[in-house]
Structure 1
């Protein structure tokens, strides 16, 4: 694709916890995402209708996408696993590093890698880019008076702090221009005024919403009037046919779901998520608008992706994780100059793991050996008989295989599920005990990993205590904040202050 006289640039936009509730993706009829919609319908991007994540929680999904290696290969299964602590992946050449090695200027701001506390500061993947920027931002929300949503805790579920504040929503106390994601995207837009010393660029932009809490400016709540909000269908017995090997129910309604149900706040939480997605879209629009007016408009690939799905009451739960369609299917929108056309769609099964080899091929980089994703650079949809099922993992030995028609899932305790998406797209009838399905189960099992790497070491630093420590250090001298953002603090100095901090 790339030519020597005008190589392709890449803008790589990650939107945290964004499921398929995007207008052009069609996950919710009331989703309002005019900027992402315009990229597809007018500018000329492709929507991948069947895109899936490699893992259903932020850390392992992002680590997998950025290394091109599955969680079962690296042992990075949870947010407590730092990629750099994995014996398998610690020296892997990440996607931005590979582009840098081949003549690109790489730069980033916002959440691309999952954050981990380290003695040098906070590891946000700064080491993977030629240039990394921290842009701050705030919500203006007084959490001491929270939660804003007034959602009661379950009996015996503790006070209003901690998990109660985490599952919160409401308007910010500052205008949109002072919020973190807007600042990140405004920074990205400003970079398009540069010439990068004649090099092509790979710019990664991390948008943190709609990650909890759903604190976004009131104007985005106003876009979704509460009285009009449509909630997903709730099926009370949805989990009853998923039994473990002992014949007991594998799952039960989550605490969040029970809180929302007890308070009858299904509309409120749905509105908040829709608002947070609309806010994220607004911020993404800052970058897209600037790109359209920049010299890079006709030679820049744009990739917009969500790192995993998110439940809004389906399967009697909220948040992420688990291995059903709602948590494994993700929005993926890609614009490639002279290749994708306005309003185009692909029904080919792809995994975000495939982005590494695909982008490398589009940009004319040498094939990277050892990647576990498969390039879909030709964008051709495959016939069902040629379709390659894809794999999503949630923790050690918990895997789900999604094929053209069926989803098969197996857990570490031996529990299994099978769903027929032709007849049951919402996965409400588990067919695993149907004797006629045995050939399908056998076929799908063949795609499970042949090896499951033991879990990588957890990060053993107290994150909250380290943040308090860094706060003290920043007050000593403003230069320390910049050093922490670059991961350049003296570890022994930080440890000495940490030991003095409660």
Structure 2
């Protein structure tokens, strides 16, 4: 049934009534429906460079064997991108299949309308058991979403002893957050769901989001590893005005305590400047002692030598500490994915479960000297994406077409045998996953970042990329254009907007950009280029669940 189902889906002739008829016919014969389960695993800020299936030199020093299992068993997307490299807007795009100007969520701090069309609700309405476990980060709670079960972190969540929110209230739970999310996921899969239904489970990790606090078992994992410094770590940003004005360099803008875990003096465990001290304060006395012991020798070495180091040496030391901790948090995520994959295989669920792993965006690992994301530059714009579904996706499949996170919703909708709403911007990935290709697949991607002023002072900008050439318009606070030949300049160091050799390509992309903005219904720039950010603070947990704070 599965191969027949896929072929009819790809052909575009499989609609909901046909699915229902097929299910009814199988139930009459005592067979089980073949609509696949969907396990959507997402991490926060996982760079493509840090997933070893993609072969980057960094990931070879910090491999991700379990994430690589998904790529080996199924498909790896070589050119996967986001619509807006920022947590909340990216999540909204994934859930709705639409760009932010249509789903109403363009920057963090807005209120997301969960009653609009979204794929978890659509699948639940069609008979799926649905659950959301981990980092939600759109509104305080999943308003408008009809998950049968949800356990979510409070806002960004904490790495140690986090607060989990459920429909019943708020509870602090002891342990390492990645492990707790894994345990809750396995518990729901094993005993919490209605096993007469297919399931759609969203498992969202906090890691590797800032401030990169590894699990106790991993705090010293990479302390003796020297990670290669990107060639453009000391970028001077010539010809790139927006890049020169950001505040997201490892050397100058990470918090010494909060991010880099630098201590005030030799023999001391107290962190230096810490903008969110409540995170370290959550550790128990035993956890804190273990933490201090893991970092003490390295911090003492830094404190003893800091006065004699040049700015360059200190920047390089901060880079190594950043990488050691960032990559160590990913090791726990990889272990988590391995546990879940093992459970699916041992329980007989693997053969009929689509497993997806992605991140809400990419991340800079020292390229241009940066950490964080936001820019349309490749490290931030791209995101890892691997999928497996035995019998549907051939092992070792490599997808080279340009895909975007708006494509997830129509893929899951079509795989469940439902009709995709006509106003969705994304495209179903099933033709690419089946190996049949798609002659009408997109030839260019649209991107738009809105959050200025905001964290890291990255200018508002939009742009277009066809995979070879990229055109970006920074429009607030400055009006600047950038153009890159990604084949000749993959690190995006030379803004070739005025290079006469690219005059025709620039003109072509300006035209293609206008076409995409028209296709997606983007409002004219003059209507919103200077519009102030209208943030709406979420209600506090005390307001939502007063009984939890008595």
Match of 2:461 among 371, 393, 398: 398
The answer for the alignment partner of 1:326 in structure 2 is 379
Residues 421 and 377 (structure 1), Cα distance of their counterparts in 2 relative to 1, 3 Å cut: same
Three-state SS of the structure 2 residue aligned to 1:291 is helix
Match of 2:65 among 13, 30, 34: 34
The answer for the alignment partner of 2:328 in structure 1 is 275
The answer for the alignment partner of 2:141 in structure 1 is 123
Residues 367 and 139 (structure 1), Cα distance of their counterparts in 2 relative to 1, 3 Å cut: closer
The answer for the alignment partner of 1:229 in structure 2 is 227
Which entry has the higher C-alpha Rg, 1 or 2?
Answer: 2
- Superposed CA RMSD: 3.0
TM-score (norm 2): 0.70
Match of 1:12 among 40, 44, 47: 40
The answer for the alignment partner of 2:483 in structure 1 is 418
Residues 213 and 252 (structure 1), Cα distance of their counterparts in 2 relative to 1, 3 Å cut: closer
Three-state SS of the structure 2 residue aligned to 1:268 is helix
**C-alpha distance in 2 between matches for 1:383 and 1:369:** 19
Residues 374 and 418 (structure 1), Cα distance of their counterparts in 2 relative to 1, 3 Å cut: same
Three-state SS of the structure 2 residue aligned to 1:123 is coil
Q: How many equivalent residue pairs?
A: 424
Shift of residue 343, structure 1, vs aligned partner: 2.6
Q: What pairs up with 1:17-166 in 2 under 5 angstroms?
A: 17-20=45-48, 21-27=50-56, 28=58, 29-41=60-72, 44-84=73-113, 91-112=115-136, 114-116=137-139, 122-125=140-143, 127-134=145-152, 139-140=159-160
Shift of residue 292, structure 1, vs aligned partner: 1.3
Shift of residue 395, structure 1, vs aligned partner: 0.6
Shift of residue 393, structure 1, vs aligned partner: 1.6
**C-alpha distance in 2 between matches for 1:17 and 1:355:** 18
Shift of residue 414, structure 1, vs aligned partner: 2.9
Q: Deviations over 1:25-44 (max 9, x none)?
A: 23433232121112222xx1
Match of 2:252 among 236, 239, 258: 258
Segments of structure 1 that go 5 or more residues without pairing to the other structure are 85-89, 117-121, 143-175, 477-502
Question: Once structures 1 and 2 are overlaid, which stretch shifts more, 339-348 or 275-284?
Answer: 339-348
The answer for the alignment partner of 2:276 in structure 1 is none
Q: Is the 8 A contact 1:111 1:124 kept in 2?
A: no
Q: Is the 8 A contact 2:468 2:487 kept in 1?
A: yes
Question: Once structures 1 and 2 are overlaid, which stretch shifts more, 377-386 or 398-407?
Answer: 377-386
The answer for the alignment partner of 2:29 in structure 1 is none
Residues 440 and 54 (structure 1), Cα distance of their counterparts in 2 relative to 1, 3 Å cut: same
Quick check: which one's helix share is greater? 2
Residues 198 and 227 (structure 1), Cα distance of their counterparts in 2 relative to 1, 3 Å cut: closer
The answer for the alignment partner of 2:472 in structure 1 is 409
Residues 258 and 138 (structure 1), Cα distance of their counterparts in 2 relative to 1, 3 Å cut: closer
The answer for the alignment partner of 1:461 in structure 2 is 537
The answer for the alignment partner of 2:496 in structure 1 is 431
Shift of residue 471, structure 1, vs aligned partner: 8.7
The answer for the alignment partner of 2:443 in structure 1 is 388
Match of 1:187 among 174, 184, 190: 184
TM-score (norm 1): 0.77
User: Is 1:447 matched with 2:480?
Assistant: no
Three-state SS of the structure 2 residue aligned to 1:393 is strand
Question: Once structures 1 and 2 are overlaid, which stretch shifts more, 425-434 or 232-241?
Answer: 232-241
Q: Deviations over 1:372-402 (max 9, x none)?
A: 0112211148699965211222117621222
Shift of residue 79, structure 1, vs aligned partner: 0.9
Q: Deviations over 1:168-221 (max 9, x none)?
A: xxxxxxxx9921221112221223325625211111111110011111224324
Q: Deviations over 1:83-123 (max 9, x none)?
A: 12xxxxx64211101111222111111124x243xxxxx32
Shift of residue 427, structure 1, vs aligned partner: 1.2
Residues 97 and 386 (structure 1), Cα distance of their counterparts in 2 relative to 1, 3 Å cut: closer
**C-alpha distance in 1 between matches for 2:246 and 2:152:** 40
Three-state SS of the structure 2 residue aligned to 1:290 is helix
Residues 290 and 123 (structure 1), Cα distance of their counterparts in 2 relative to 1, 3 Å cut: same
Segments of structure 2 that go 5 or more residues without pairing to the other structure are 7-21, 24-32, 163-172, 255-311, 452-459
The answer for the alignment partner of 1:239 in structure 2 is 237
**C-alpha distance in 2 between matches for 1:255 and 1:135:** 28
The answer for the alignment partner of 2:416 in structure 1 is 363
The answer for the alignment partner of 1:149 in structure 2 is none
**C-alpha distance in 1 between matches for 2:496 and 2:358:** 31
**C-alpha distance in 2 between matches for 1:80 and 1:227:** 38
Shift of residue 321, structure 1, vs aligned partner: 1.2
Residues 40 and 282 (structure 1), Cα distance of their counterparts in 2 relative to 1, 3 Å cut: same
Three-state SS of the structure 1 residue aligned to 2:213 is strand
The answer for the alignment partner of 2:264 in structure 1 is none
Three-state SS of the structure 2 residue aligned to 1:398 is strand
Shift of residue 140, structure 1, vs aligned partner: 4.9
